[in-house]
């Protein structure tokens, strides 16, 4: 079952980029941080869309891996991907980007991970899909591509051309 | 993908995927160590004992820092002020420590095979921090990490291991690792300090002429002369050793290329290596020490038991 089609996805990415710019004009004192591994596909697209609106040097873009901060890190083996934050986040607004907001536990870990780089003045969250009814922690997004209102027994799978050959979001029987 | 071994007793027991996994995980931990806050909460429910039956500065501090950066609880044991001095056996000592809910053992011992013996009798994961003249796996891993970092790859790299090969656990672990990762290995030093069976057993080259070895290699890993393990004179004097086999600026200047200079420490300055070489531009000795913490964090992280094993 398709949740977001290949035709819809570019419009949603463009809308998210514009909503971010509307809230943080010119990205003054704001930085973009994509979450490894799969949030980075979305943040890459959003940053590309932002580059159409702003000079490249106004878009500060980093990637954050949260593996070592997970609350289930010792249940199974998790392997880390690269973290690359080539700027200070001290006193900045950090816009975190991830593909699916599900239980909220990844974002909880991401907040911990961010704090080891400094003290941002504000952290805001942008996601492609918000599985709102499945939340286990009090965490909400500020920018949402698509919100799911019902609890579903399905797995939400975001597919990206770079990795999966197609751009869309589908529901899979888990 | 997880490690194929439960313990880290030696490089001999690892395959090339294991080694690659440890090195790539160490890359991520090296980044963690550049952050303003260098500590991650990953192993906060893990208790580790550092069991050192033999002296150590670098390795013990490096392991302890790695454990603390991962938020593990750390207990240090040194034999000189322990009940082992009263005659307690190794296994009794370890079982007593483990009964106080310790999850992991990092161990250095002067007897080759001590951690292997322990691994047969206890459940906790064991990391060998050096056993006699057998292996020192984390040293070989941090050496490989440092070589890969500077030279871009291990496969095809020409590495000369120079000095007291006979008494060196660093040499044996390095030889195992470099062969598994596709590097070419040569050992060089005085004939009395090089076991000749290495040539056939490990398929490596032996070169008794130090200048030829230096001319051949991309990387020279220079080892310490281990006087404490030599109970008979194997060369006439330290000065003569230095003249015949010591790495001097003069020797390096005669090469028509630049090579990387490594040493696992502690250095006998003026014996196996001159001070101007150790402090010189080609030396990555302090990079090795820095990388040691990240590499040991990777080993600890990958070897801690899973509470929900697959």
In this structure, is residue A81 part of a structural domain?
A: yes
Angstroms from B45 CA to nearest CA on chain A: 9
Contact B32 A77 (CB under 8 A): no
Are the beta carbons of B69 and B301 closer than 8 angstroms?
Answer: no
Residue B223 burial (10 A CB sphere; 0-12, 13-18, 19+)? buried
How far is Cα B33 from Cα B299, in angstroms, rounded to an integer? 15
pLDDT at B309: 52
What crossing angle do the helices spanning B58-69 and B137-151 adopt, rounded to 10°? Answer: 80
Give the other-Cβ count within 10 Å of B241's Cβ.
Answer: 21
Query: Cβ of B28 under 8 Å from any chain A Cβ?
Result: yes
**Region(s) of chain B under CATH 3.40.50.1370:** 11-135+290-303, 137-289
In this structure, is residue A169 part of a structural domain?
A: no
Contact B41 A68 (CB under 8 A): yes
pLDDT at B307: 67
In this structure, is residue A135 part of a structural domain?
A: yes
Give the other-Cβ count within 10 Å of A162's Cβ.
Answer: 11
In this structure, is residue A168 part of a structural domain?
A: no
In this structure, is residue A79 part of a structural domain?
A: yes
Contact A68 B25 (CB under 8 A): no
pLDDT, chain A, mean: 94
Q: How much is the average pLDDT of A127-156?
A: 93
How far is Cα B279 from Cα A39, in angstroms, rounded to an integer? 44
Q: Please report residues of A whose CB lies closer than 8 A to that of B1.
A: 77, 79
pLDDT at B77: 87
pLDDT at B257: 93
By CA distance, what is A87's nearest residue in B? B35
Alpha-carbon separation of residue B99 from B96, B102, B103, B286 (angstroms): 5, 7, 10, 38
Contact B310 A76 (CB under 8 A): yes
Q: Say whether A104 sits in a helix, a strand or coil.
A: coil
pLDDT at B267: 94
pLDDT at A80: 93
Is the domain covering B11-135+290-303 a CATH 3.40.50.1000 domain?
A: no
Q: Say whether A112 sits in a helix, a strand or coil.
A: helix
Query: Cβ of A112 under 8 Å from any chain B Cβ?
Result: yes
Reading across the β-sheet that carries A122-131, which strands appear in turn?
A61-64, A30-35, A93-101, A122-131, A143-148
Q: Please report residues of B whose CB lies closer than 8 A to that of A82.
A: 27-28, 31
Pick the CATH number of B137-289 from 3.30.200.20, 2.40.50.140, 3.30.70.100, 3.40.50.1370: 3.40.50.1370
Domain that holds residue A64: 2-149
Query: Cβ of B47 under 8 Å from any chain A Cβ?
Result: no
pLDDT at B114: 96
- pLDDT tens column, A11-40: 999 999 999 999 999 999 999 999 999 999
Angstroms from B101 CA to nearest CA on chain A: 17
Are the beta carbons of B224 and B164 closer than 8 angstroms?
Answer: yes
By CA distance, what is A118's nearest residue in B? B36
Q: What is the CATH number of the domain that holds A127?
A: 3.40.50.2020
Q: Which residues have CB under 8 Å from A147's CB, separation 6+?
A: A129, A130, A132
pLDDT at B278: 96
Are the beta carbons of B159 and B32 closer than 8 angstroms?
Answer: no
Are the beta carbons of B304 and B9 closer than 8 angstroms?
Answer: no
Write the ipTM: 0.90
How far is Cα B65 from Cα B60, in angstroms, rounded to an integer? 9
pLDDT at B199: 87
Interface of A with B in 120-149 (CB under 8 A): none
Structure tokens at B235: 């060369």
Q: How much is the average pLDDT of A123-129?
A: 98
Query: Cβ of A116 under 8 Å from any chain B Cβ?
Result: yes
Q: What is the DSSP letter of A162?
A: H
Alpha-carbon separation of residue B158 from A34, B21, B184, B187, B197 (angstroms): 40, 22, 5, 11, 20
By CA distance, what is B36's nearest residue in A? A117
- As averages over each run of 10 residues, the pLDDT of chain B (310 residues) reads 92 97 97 96 95 91 98 90 76 90 94 95 94 96 98 97 94 97 96 90 93 97 84 83 95 95 94 96 96 98 74
Alpha-carbon separation of residue A56 from A49, B185, B219, B307 (angstroms): 11, 47, 41, 46
Give residue for tokens 């019902």. A150
Query: Cβ of A82 under 8 Å from any chain B Cβ?
Result: yes
């Amino acid at each position: 079952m398709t949740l977001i089609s290949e035709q819809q996805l570019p419009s949603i990415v463009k809308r998210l980029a514009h909503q971010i710019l509307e809230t943080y004009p010119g990205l003054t004192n704001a930085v973009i941080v994509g979450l490894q591994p799969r949030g980075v596909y979305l943040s890459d697209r959003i940053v590309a869309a932002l580059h159409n609106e702003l000079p490249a040097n106004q878009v500060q873009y980093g990637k954050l891996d949260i593996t070592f901060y997970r609350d289930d890190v010792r249940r199974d083996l998790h392997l880390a991907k690269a973290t690359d934050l080539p700027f200070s986040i001290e006193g900045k607004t950090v816009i975190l980007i991830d593909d699916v907001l599900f239980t909220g536990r990844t974002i909880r870990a991401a907040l911990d991970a961010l704090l080891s780089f400094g003290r941002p003045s504000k952290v805001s969250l942008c996601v492609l899909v918000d599985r709102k009814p499945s939340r286990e922690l009090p965490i909400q997004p500020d920018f949402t591509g698509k919100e799911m209102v019902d609890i579903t027994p399905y797995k939400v799978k975001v597919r990206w051309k770079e990795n999966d050959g197609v751009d869309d979001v589908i529901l899979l029987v888990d | 993908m997880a490690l194929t071994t439960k313990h880290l007793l030696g490089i001999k027991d690892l395959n090339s995927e294991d080694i690659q996994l440890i090195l790539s995980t160490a890359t991520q931990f090296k980044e963690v160590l550049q952050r303003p806050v260098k500590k991650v909460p990953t192993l906060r429910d893990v208790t580790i004992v550092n069991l050192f039956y033999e002296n150590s500065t670098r390795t013990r501090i490096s392991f302890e820092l790695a454990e603390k950066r991962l938020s593990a609880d750390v207990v240090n044991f040194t034999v000189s002020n322990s009940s082992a001095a009263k005659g307690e056996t190794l296994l009794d000592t370890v079982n007593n420590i483990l009964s106080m809910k310790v999850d992991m053992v990092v161990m250095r011992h002067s007897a080759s095979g001590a951690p292997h013996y322990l691994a047969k009798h206890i459940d906790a994961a064991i990391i060998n921090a050096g056993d006699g003249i057998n292996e020192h796996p984390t040293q070989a891993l941090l050496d490989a990490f440092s070589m890969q970092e500077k030279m871009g790859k291990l496969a095809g790299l020409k590495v000369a291991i120079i000095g007291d090969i006979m008494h060196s656990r660093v040499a044996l672990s390095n030889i195992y690792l470099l062969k598994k990762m596709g590097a070419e290995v040569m050992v060089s030093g005085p004939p009395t300090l090089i076991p000749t069976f290495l040539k056939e057993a490990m398929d490596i080259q032996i070169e008794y002429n130090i200048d030829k070895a230096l001319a051949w290699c991309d990387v020279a890993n220079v080892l310490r002369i281990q006087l404490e393990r030599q109970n008979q004179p194997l060369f006439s004097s330290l000065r003569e050793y230095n003249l015949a086999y010591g790495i001097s600026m003069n020797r390096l200047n005669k090469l028509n290329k630049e090579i990387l200079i490594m040493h696992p420490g502690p250095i006998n300055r003026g014996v196996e290596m001159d001070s101007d070489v150790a402090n010189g531009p080609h030396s990555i000795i302090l990079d090795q020490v820095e990388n040691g913490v990240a590499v040991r964090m990777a080993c600890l992280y990958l070897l801690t038991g899973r509470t929900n094993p697959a």
